């Protein structure tokens, strides 16, 4: 029984490159993002991993990343489930703004609070707590049971939806998870125990 869960944040998007708050907006990957996702797939292929199912969000950048990874591991036709429960955090009124412009409008301290607190949402948007409240029930109902059944599962999603899952898997506090950086296109490979606890964790850094 493998019980393997692979989490990967999408490759660099067009709005990552422009330093914009992206949230539920739908830019695609940059050329760099395509390289990152392809390289992630190559590293996973190097481990000899074969997936039983893949999950991704309703957003293009995550879906594109998922397709590129599956292509590299020779599983382009793998069943892939898309759900907005795995979407990035909604940044509300910050969406589409350059992060420097947001600081000019609301002040550096306020923007830092919105970005790095666990439970304080930006105007009209979601906090990381709110994101976890939609991501975790989906993860626990749909994804985790497949892993615990002994399957190897890929989740290609976003920084904050993946933070929600990692917080639960690694039993982190809100303060601990907001401090956790997830690099674009960098797979994290978990082997889970029968009770869902983490047996091992490997970050496949570029």
Write down all domains in the chain, each with its CATH number in brackets: 4-203 (3.40.50.1240)
Q: What are the DSSP E strand ranges found in the chain?
A: 4-9, 53-56, 80-82, 152-157, 188-192, 198-203
Distance CA 183, CA 199 (A): 22
Has 64 been annotated as catalytic? Answer: no
Task: Reduce the DSSP state of residue 2 to 3 states and report it.
Answer: coil
Average pLDDT, the chain: 97
- Whether the per-residue pLDDT at 96 is higher than 90: the answer is yes
pLDDT of residue 153: 98
pLDDT of residue 74: 98
Looking at per-residue pLDDT, the higher value among 206 and 181 belongs to 181
Catalytic residue among 36, 88, 126, 186: 88
């Amino acid at each position: 029984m493998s019980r393997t869960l692979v989490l990967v944040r999408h490759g660099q998007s067009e709005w990552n490159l422009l330093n914009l708050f992206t949230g539920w907006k739908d830019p695609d990957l940059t050329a760099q993002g395509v390289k990152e996702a392809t390289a992630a797939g190559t590293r996973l292929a190097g481990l000899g991993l074969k997936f039983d199912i893949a999950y991704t969000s309703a957003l293009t950048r995550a879906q594109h990343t998922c397709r590129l990874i599956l292509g590299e591991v020779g599983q382009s036709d793998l069943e892939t489930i898309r759900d907005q429960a795995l979407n990035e955090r909604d940044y509300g009124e910050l969406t589409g703004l350059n992060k420097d412009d947001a600081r000019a409008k609301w002040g550096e301290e306020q923007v830092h609070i919105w970005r790095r607190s666990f439970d304080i949402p930006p105007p009209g948007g979601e906090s990381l707590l709110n994101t976890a409240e939609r991501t975790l029930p989906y993860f626990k109902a749909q994804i985790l049971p497949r892993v615990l059944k002994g399957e190897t599962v890929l989740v290609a999603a976003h920084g904050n939806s993946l933070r929600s899952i990692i917080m639960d898997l690694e039993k982190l506090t809100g303060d601990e998870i907001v401090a956790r950086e997830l690099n674009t296109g960098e797979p994290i490979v978990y082997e889970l125990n029968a009770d869902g606890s983490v047996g091992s964790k490997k970050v496949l850094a570029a």
